[in-house]
């Protein structure tokens, strides 16, 4: 039985698609021609998956030196400055959604799941979780998530957790500069990070994140 079939069986009636499917075309695209073997090997050798929660490092100089990162910079970002870092963890559900101005490229060192939506469906800085769709990304694959796609930290597929390499426009997720009128957009929490969370996320709300995500929170049961 394929991994997606097992995931759908465990998580029914939730439907989990594959990033290779037609359903993903609204949210991003598969980039099958990039050879990431050495990059993923380095990621697994140098980065451990935390036992709890998620761990994100926006920029890792050693990653950014790999030739395949430069090729992605050329082909996807048109030679604009980028950053490459790690996102790893044990996440299993939807607690918030974010978007960036510029695509996010995700290289999967392990299997992972993306919960995604459309920026166009945000109304008055609010979004209904009923619009979220779920996609499985197999290990050793590369996807581009479009700037019009709402997303957040991936979810794990099994007990080992997930490990991904994340490429974004340079400066994304860095602290905002003080005194620049940064809260003109309620969703802006860090540079190029437009984020909303569910009302259950009290710690993030206390830190200033807008509670704009409404509806039922999805949870993925791993294999």
CATH number at residue 18: 2.60.120.10
Q: Give domain status of residue 219, yes or no.
A: no
Contact 129, 170 (CB under 8 A): no
pLDDT value at residue 180: 53
Q: Give domain status of residue 220, yes or no.
A: no
User: Which residues have C-beta within 8 Å of that of residue 73, sequence separation ≥ 6?
Assistant: 79, 80, 82, 167
Sort 65 into a burial class: Cβ within 10 Å, 0-12 / 13-18 / 19+: exposed
Q: What is the pTM of this model?
A: 0.95
User: Which domain does 135 fall in, by range?
Assistant: 3-214
Q: Give domain status of residue 156, yes or no.
A: yes
Contact 168, 104 (CB under 8 A): yes
Cα 64 to Cα 29, 59, 71, 160, distances in angstroms: 22, 8, 11, 26
Q: Give domain status of residue 81, yes or no.
A: yes
Q: Give domain status of residue 223, yes or no.
A: no
Q: Residue 31: which pLDDT band, with cuts at 50, 70 and 90? A: very high
pLDDT tens column, 114-164 = 999 999 999 999 999 999 999 999 999 999 999 999 999 999 999 999 999
Q: Give domain status of residue 222, yes or no.
A: no
Q: Give domain status of residue 221, yes or no.
A: no
Q: Give domain status of residue 173, yes or no.
A: yes
The number of folded domains in the chain is: 1
């Amino acid at each position: 039985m394929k991994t997606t079939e097992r995931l759908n069986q465990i998580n029914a009636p939730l439907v989990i698609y594959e990033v290779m499917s037609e359903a993903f075309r609204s949210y991003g695209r598969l980039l099958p021609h990039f050879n990431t073997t050495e990059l993923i090997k380095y990621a697994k050798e140098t980065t451990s998956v935390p036992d709890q929660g998620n761990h994100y490092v926006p920029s890792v100089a050693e990653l950014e030196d790999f030739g395949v990162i430069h090729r992605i910079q050329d082909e996807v970002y048109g030679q604009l400055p980028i950053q490459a870092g790690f996102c790893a963890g044990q996440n299993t559900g939807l607690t918030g959604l974010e978007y960036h101005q510029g695509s996010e490229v995700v290289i999967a060192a392990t299997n992972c799941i993306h919960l995604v939506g459309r920026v166009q469906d945000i109304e008055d800085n609010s979004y209904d979780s009923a619009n979220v769709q779920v996609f499985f990304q197999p290990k050793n694959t590369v996807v581009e998530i479009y700037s019009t796609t709402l997303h957040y930290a991936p979810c794990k597929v099994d007990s080992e957790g997930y490990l991904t390499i994340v490429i974004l426009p340079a400066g994304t997720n860095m602290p905002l500069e003080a005194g620049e009128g940064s809260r003109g957009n309620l969703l802006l929490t860090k540079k190029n990070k437009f984020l909303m969370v569910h009302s259950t996320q009290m710690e993030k709300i206390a830190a200033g994140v807008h509670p704009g995500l409404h509806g039922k929170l999805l949870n993925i049961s791993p294999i």
